[in-house]
């Protein structure tokens, strides 16, 4: 009997005391309850579970001191108070030329230019390179002004005159003081209508362009040129903007004049101005100056319909072991400029983001792809892109990396892109929408970008889209929209790949194609 009593007392002494589980109420404003650590005799998984619950409670109720000036959770931002902009006035002249202006009363400078619905896409195989050749010849003198006088006249005004050519559009624009706007309009009209194209200037510019073509090799522009050539092979959109070497050697004055007569027509042109400008004065000056242009009613849309673009899933790889870094781009077929889903694709571009190792801060960025690339150090830089044309587009990622990182980087890129069709969080979409709206506002700050925005939108949409409407379209994109658009363009779709450099370790095309979907149920 005595032995039984001793055993019962011994067993009772090993029972855990209830004091180990006393609850202590925090003095913080949250008044959250924290449980004391478990006793030393508790099992290891009990300790781990307790630690995890404590961390989760801290995440759900962070210290209010760190939330005074910001929150880690994005919120919908209203831009209504900054969306009021001056009216964009548009006048169509009797010859079909559209004149569009946006006047800023407090500006002392102005930007004026001509945007033309013409580019390398509208060339033939025999004349490929003519549009870019014209860009070089456009400032080499007219019947009224020689090249020297043209340059001096612009410099005496303290202005700048530039031109650039893309696959679908050409622009010639000047930035001048407010008092010289009408002179700039007259100069632009003279350049477009009365260029001389002297043989000695053609020979000189031909040699310059040939040197540019021969120097091509390992730049971002080269990667995208090859990307277009493989994605839109055997169609006009796949032609190189700079043209082929054989074509450049045979382009003559007659080719340049014929291109201007055919494509530089008033229905396909917009005279856009922004800054310290007066709409009525520019309209009257345009009526006097733009009198010798063709009024052919054929539109760029009609030309595109005759030779539409066709996307081909394919790849082009140029191995060059003499450069230290590999550059490659992965792209899916995207929408046209006027497709409603083009807005969602731009939001998806912001969700994928961009990163450069020289900028820093990658592991704290909102983009999951940028975080993975930065933390693991598997790229020198990367950026998502969404390019739209009249009947098609490209959506994908461009990256630069060391040769031994190509496999890990490819896996990270494909995982991030394909994930858009499966899992999309509300926070990521809100953050991307806010970033996109801020970028649009920042990119139209000043007379020159505003004039360019007016010219491009009138050629693309036939009107200037107000920021209120554009932001409403952006805010309409939600996680379900992103998933739907990703399923339309990414899920189990062919892609185009362009790669240059030491790319032996870049996975093959079938590897990429296999990762456009997940076998998950």
**Tens digits of per-residue pLDDT, 212-228?**
887 766 789 999 999 99
Angle, vertex CA 370, rays to CA 501 and CA 444, nearest 5: 95
pLDDT at 361: 72
Q: Are 518 and 422 in contact (CB under 8 A)?
A: yes
Q: Are 354 and 369 in contact (CB under 8 A)?
A: no
Minimum mean pLDDT among 75-84, 196-205, 210-219, 307-316: which range? 75-84
- Which domains occur in the chain, in start order? 87-306 (3.30.830.10), 311-515 (3.30.830.10)
Q: How far apart are CA 418 and CA 396, in angstroms?
A: 11
Give one DSSP letter per residue of 202-218, joined into a string.
HHHHHHHHHHHHHH-SS
DSSP code of 466?
P
Residue 498: beta bridge partners? 316, 329
Choosing from 102, 123, 168, 205, the catalytic residue is 205
- For this structure, is 205 an active site residue? yes
Residue 103: beta bridge partners? 275
pLDDT grade for 350, boundaries at 50, 70 and 90: very high
β-strand 109-116 against 269-275: which pairing, if any?
antiparallel
Closest C-alpha to 230, from 500, 504, 441: 500
- For this structure, is 284 an active site residue? no
Choosing from 123, 135, 350, 452, the catalytic residue is 135
Q: Are 406 and 382 in contact (CB under 8 A)?
A: no
For the chain, give the mean pLDDT: 87
In this model, does residue 3 exceed pLDDT 60? no
| Stated pTM of the model | 0.83
Q: How far apart are CA 267 and CA 273, in angstroms?
A: 18
Tokens of 273: 């101005």
Q: Are 154 and 133 in contact (CB under 8 A)?
A: no
Tokens of 92: 């169509």
More confident residue, 17 or 205: 205
Q: Are 132 and 120 in contact (CB under 8 A)?
A: yes
Q: Tell me the H-state helices in 312-446.
A: 341-352, 368-376, 406-419, 426-443
Reported as a single tens digit per residue, the pLDDT across 354-413 is 999 887 777 778 889 999 999 999 999 999 999 999 999 999 999 999 999 999 999 999
Cβ burial, residue 375 (10 Å; 0-12/13-18/19+): exposed
Tokens of 1: 């009997």
Residue 240: beta bridge partners? none
Rounded to the nearest 5°, which phi and psi values hold at 443?
-80, -10
Q: How far apart are CA 351 and CA 367, in angstroms?
A: 6
pLDDT grade for 63, boundaries at 50, 70 and 90: low
Across 78-95, b (16+ Cβ under 10 Å) vs e yields ebeeeeeeeebbbbeeeb
Q: How far apart are CA 224 and CA 205, in angstroms?
A: 24
Reported as a single tens digit per residue, the pLDDT across 435-492 is 999 999 888 888 999 999 999 999 999 999 988 899 999 999 999 999 999 999 999 9
Across 433-457, b (16+ Cβ under 10 Å) vs e yields bbbbbeebeeebeebbebbbbbbbb
Percentage of the chain with pLDDT > 70? 87
Q: How far apart are CA 395 and CA 348, in angstroms?
A: 9
Reported as a single tens digit per residue, the pLDDT across 232-280 is 999 999 999 998 888 899 999 999 999 999 999 999 999 999 999 999 9
């Amino acid at each position: 009997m005595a032995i039984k009593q001793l055993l019962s007392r011994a067993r009772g002494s090993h029972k855990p005391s209830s004091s180990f589980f006393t609850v202590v109420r925090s003095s913080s404003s949250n008044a959250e309850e924290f449980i004391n650590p478990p006793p030393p005799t508790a099992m290891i998984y009990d300790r781990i579970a307790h630690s995890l619950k404590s961390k989760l409670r801290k995440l759900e109720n962070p210290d209010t001191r760190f939330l005074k000036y910001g929150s880690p959770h994005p919120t919908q931002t209203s831009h209504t108070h900054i969306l009021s902009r001056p009216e964009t006035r548009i006048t169509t002249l009797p010859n079909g030329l559209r004149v569009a202006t946006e006047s800023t009363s407090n500006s002392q400078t102005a930007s004026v230019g001509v945007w033309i619905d013409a580019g390398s896409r509208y060339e033939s195989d025999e004349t490929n390179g003519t549009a870019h050749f014209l860009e070089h010849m456009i400032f080499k003198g007219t019947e009224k002004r020689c090249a020297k006088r043209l340059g001096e006249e612009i410099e005496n005004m303290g202005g700048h005159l530039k031109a650039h050519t893309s696959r679908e559009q050409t622009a010639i624009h000047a930035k001048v003081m407010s008092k010289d706007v009408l002179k700039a309009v007259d100069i632009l009209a003279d350049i477009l209508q009365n260029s001389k194209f002297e043989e000695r200037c053609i020979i000189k510019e031909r040699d310059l362009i040939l040197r540019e073509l021969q120097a091509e090799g390992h730049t971002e522009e080269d990667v995208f040129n090859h990307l277009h050539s493989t994605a839109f092979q055997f169609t006009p959109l796949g032609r190189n903007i700079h043209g082929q070497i054989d074509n450049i050697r045979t382009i003559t004055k007659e080719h340049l004049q014929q291109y201007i007569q055919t494509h530089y027509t008033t229905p396909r042109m917009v005279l856009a101005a922004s800054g310290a400008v007066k709409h009525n004065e520019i309209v009257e000056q345009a009526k006097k100056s733009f009198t010798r242009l063709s009024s052919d009613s054929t539109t760029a849309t009609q030309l595109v319909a005759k030779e539409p673009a066709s996307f081909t899933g394919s790849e082009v790889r140029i191995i060059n072991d003499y450069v230290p870094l590999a550059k490659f781009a992965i792209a899916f077929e995207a929408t046209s400029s006027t497709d409603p889903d083009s807005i969602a694709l731009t939001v998806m571009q912001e969700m994928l983001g961009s990163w450069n190792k020289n900028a820093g801060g990658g592991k704290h960025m909102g983009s999951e792809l940028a975080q993975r690339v930065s933390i693991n150090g598997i790229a020198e830089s990367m950026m998502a892109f969404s390019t739209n044309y009249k009947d098609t587009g490209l959506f994908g990622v461009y990256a630069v990396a060391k040769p031994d990182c190509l496999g890990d980087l490819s896996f990270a890129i494909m995982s991030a892109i394909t994930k858009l069709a499966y899992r999309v969080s509300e926070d990521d979409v809100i953050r991307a929408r806010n970033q996109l709206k801020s970028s649009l506002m920042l990119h139209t700050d000043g007379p020159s970008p505003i004039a360019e925005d007016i010219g491009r939108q009138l050629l693309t949409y036939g009107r200037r889209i107000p920021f209120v409407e554009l932001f409403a379209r952006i805010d309409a994109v939600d996680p379900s929209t992103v998933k739907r658009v990703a399923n339309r363009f990414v899920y189990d779709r062919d892609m185009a790949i362009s790669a240059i450099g030491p790319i032996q370790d870049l996975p093959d095309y079938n590897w990429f194609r296999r990762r456009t979907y997940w076998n998950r149920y």
